Structure 1
Amino acid sequence: MKRKSLQGNACPVARTLDLIGDWWSLLIIRDALEGIRRFSDFQKSLDIAKNILSARLKALVEQGILQTVPAADGCAYKEYALTERGKALQTVIVALSQWGGEFMYAPGESGSVMVDAQNRQPIRKLELLAEDGRKLRGDEVATRLGVAH
């Protein structure tokens, strides 16, 4: 079955999921945020088939999330580097990690935790803040039609 495109949808969540909504793409972005840049390193980290990885990397480059750059060591290989657009997805990855850490593990079960790279302490839970700085509960957030930023 062919996947329906959400590209023209009025909802930014739908458009974003159309762009990066499959799990492999999000895991590639997660690994790139951790510093992985080479095809073989993505493959080793994700245990993903070469054809699937190749297709996802190609799509992420086409979508402006990653860019190919010469290898840092000067060899003939290319590496994949996050663009500014790709780096901006870090908040999404942190939010998914925090949600998963809270709801996807049994009590006492070990899992990874995102930490501040400088002091190695867990990142404070992301919060929804109003423009004036007020902390918002989920029932205080609504959607309206408007001009995207």
Structure 2
Amino acid sequence: MMISNLPADLLEEILSRVPATSMIRLRSTCKQWYNLFKDQMFAEKHLRNVPKKLRVITLKENRLFLPSVDLNFVPPFIEFSDVLSLNNSSPYGLMDSAFHCDGLLLCTTGEDEFVVWNPCLGETTWIKHSEGSKKFTRLDIAYANNQSCHSYKILMFWD
């Protein structure tokens, strides 16, 4: 039986167990898979099926890392091996700060711009800060808990 002949629910169940890093390569396989990976219900199912482990994102030397943390080792062992890299990197330089919500990262640069980044899909949206002269003191990303869709918002705070 070819994979294209599998029932849709079985295919969804199989793909929901594939690691996110492998899903990036699979999304261009066919339109059906691409649309499935974009579906919010599938994303939530995938998150439920992912093995639970300590996840840490670290900003070190203006770069984002996904360190592996071993809490069973005394003292706890941290290895900085995986560097997260943006596909469309900033023309202004490296990242200053990072915030997260539901797997999305909101990263700032030294300039008046920031990027909303989905590292699993490799998608980025660059946003120019419209209040050019006003420097925000705090930035965060969140969503309205609406049952019909997740509507993400960028929150900026000024002194």
Query: Shared fold by TM > 0.5?
Result: no
In the superposition, the TM-score normalised over structure 2's length comes to: 0.24
In the superposition, the TM-score normalised over structure 1's length comes to: 0.25
Name the structure where helix makes up a greater proportion of residues. 1
Greater RCO, 1 or 2 (C-alpha within 8 Å, sep 6+): 1
Name the structure where strand makes up a greater proportion of residues. 2
